[in-house]
Amino acid sequence: MNEWKHIFKLDPAKEISDEHLDLLCESGTDAVIVGGTDDVTLDGVLDLLSRIRRHAVPCLLEVSNMDSITPGFDDYLIPMVLNSREKKWMMDMQHQAIKQYIDMMEYSQIFFEGYCILNKDAKAFTHTNSYLPDNEDVVAYAYMAEHVFHLPIFYMEYSGMYGDPQLVKKVKDQLGEALLFYGGGIENPIQAREMKDNADVIIVGNSIYTNFNSAMKTVKAVKD
């Protein structure tokens, strides 16, 4: 994961054709994440998993609810929402999941993410009862993710909105070992390159469904 630069995130609640899925998996992206907020079902997750598995690309599940956890992924990402007002989204859901699956868990395949949701119009923002932190808050969350909780990943989640590259840079300057994931509103190679200049890994989601050809070009933009 330390070598990764680009990830596509597929939403199990959205439709993607076999043709597009094949092109996406063979695009040269470093990994494909399956994850979403609304209507994530086990059927939807299993459908994507089996179709992505025809390809060699690493396939990760970003766990959003207990019902859609399934074996078969290369790795599992578990968000801990640092700017939620409710401890439930930071710790309690994760605690319940670990309690249920503790005997099946292979710790080397599980990565906890310090999540900071920065778009107040994102579904995940409302769903997790988050508040909008200011820039200093975000930098302090990055510090906490790395030095207090020792999380391997700090994720700046602007889902659906292009974020602030200056703030991404500030956060990157703060972090040492922890990887900085940036996701939100990347629709073209210029935006991909701008965010990749500061973050370690960029995640492209929605534009897969709204402008597939342009989304595909984000891979080459950051890998070359």
Which of 175, 204, 219, 221 touches ligand 1GP (CB under 6 A)?
A: 204
User: Three-state SS for 115?
Assistant: strand
Binder of ligand 1GP out of 183, 196, 219, 221 (CB under 6 A)? 183
Residues 46, 185, 188, 214: which binds ligand 1GP (CB under 6 A)?
185
Q: Which of 160, 165, 172, 194 binds ligand 1GP (CB under 6 A)?
A: 160
3 state DSSP class of 56: coil
Residue 189 binds ligand 1GP (CB under 6 A): no
Closest CA to 79 of 153, 174, 178, 3: 153
114 contributes a contact to ligand 1GP by CB under 6 A: no
Residue among 184, 189, 200, 222 that touches ligand 1GP (CB under 6 A):
184
Q: What is the DSSP letter of 90?
A: I
Q: In terms of CB distance, is 57 or 215 closer to ligand 1GP?
A: 215
- Shortest spacing between CB 186 and ligand 1GP, in angstroms: 5
Nearer to ligand 1GP, 159 or 174 (CB): 159
For residues 32-64, b (16+ Cβ closer than 10 Å) or e, as one string? bbbbbbeebeeebbeebbebbeeeebbbbbbbb
Provide the token pair at 97: 């999941």
Sort residue 45 into left (φ over 0), alpha (ψ -120 to 50) or beta.
alpha
Query: Which residue in 116, 178, 186, 222 binds ligand 1GP (CB under 6 A)?
Result: 186
Binding mask 9-38 for ligand 1GP (x = CB under 6 A): x-----------------------------
Degrees (nearest 5) of the Cα angle 75, 41, 79? Answer: 45
Structure tokens at 84: 């939620």
We find the least distance from the C-beta atom of residue 33 to ligand 1GP, in angstroms, to be 8
Write the binding mask 74 to 103 for ligand 1GP: x where contact by CB under 6 A, - elsewhere.
------------------------------
Which is closer to ligand 1GP, CB of 14 or CB of 88? 14
As a whole number of Å, the end-to-end CA separation of the chain is 18
Q: Give, in order, the Cα–Cα distances in Å from 93 to each of 90, 167, 185.
A: 8, 29, 27
Q: Which is nearer to ligand 1GP, 6 or 9 (CB)?
A: 9
Distance, CA of 167 to CA of 170 (rounded, Å): 5
Task: List residues binding ligand 1GP (CB under 6 A).
Answer: 9, 157, 159-160, 183-186, 203-207
